[in-house]
């Protein structure tokens, strides 16, 4: 994990010698969107989830950080994870219990509030009203030489 103000270390992965290649997958949590019939509670749960993040929006600054660390041919491909189905095999639905478990007891949440949010997400899925979206960015780069 990189501090918000420093570029990545040239030794950020074991393949970074001359001619080495780097692959970094980073989630832009600022793009997270989840439908809720209780938007205030959902905002509190997602704010609590943010407490686990080392950097909420690393993809915003990752390309220049890689270049500053001596990488070249930096490229990025976006991978949106957007779904309207509460399917445990899809990223959105699979993430709901992790968010709820981490958020419980954090931030401004009342006891049981994170679980109520997760229950609501499942219920929205049963009614065909679930919405989840977040973007991950895949960066590739190589070391000269």
Strands across the sheet with 132-142, in order? 21-34, 132-142, 72-83
- Give the predicted TM-score (pTM) of the model: 0.83
C-alpha–C-alpha distance, residues 41 and 77, integer Å: 33
pLDDT in tens, 78-126: 999 999 999 999 999 999 999 999 999 997 899 999 999 999 999 999 9
Does 44 reside within a domain?
yes
The alpha-carbon radius of gyration of the chain (Å, integer) is 18
In the chain, the number of structural domains is 1
C-alpha–C-alpha distance, residues 17 and 120, integer Å: 49
Does 14 reside within a domain?
no
pLDDT in tens, 35-59: 999 999 999 999 999 999 999 999 9
Expressed as residue numbers, the domain containing 50 is: 21-142
Spell out the residues 6+ positions from residue 33 whose beta carbon is closer than 8 angstroms to its own. Answer: 131, 132, 133, 134
Does 13 reside within a domain?
no
Does 120 reside within a domain?
yes
Does 9 reside within a domain?
no
Does 138 reside within a domain?
yes
Does 83 reside within a domain?
yes
């Amino acid at each position: 994990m990189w501090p918000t103000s420093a570029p990545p270390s040239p030794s950020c992965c074991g393949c970074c010698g001359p001619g080495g290649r780097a692959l970094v997958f980073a989630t832009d949590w600022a793009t997270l969107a989840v439908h809720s019939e209780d938007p205030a509670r959902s905002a509190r749960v997602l704010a609590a989830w943010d407490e686990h993040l080392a950097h909420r929006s690393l993809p915003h600054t990752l390309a220049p950080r890689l270049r500053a660390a001596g990488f070249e041919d930096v490229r990025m491909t976006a991978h949106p994870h957007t779904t309207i189905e509460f399917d445990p095999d899809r990223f959105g639905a699979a993430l709901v219990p992790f968010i709820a478990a981490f958020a419980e007891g954090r931030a401004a949440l009342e006891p049981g509030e994170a679980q109520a949010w997760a229950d609501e997400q499942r219920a929205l899925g049963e009614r065909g009203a679930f919405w989840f979206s977040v973007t991950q960015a895949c960066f590739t780069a190589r070391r000269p030489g």
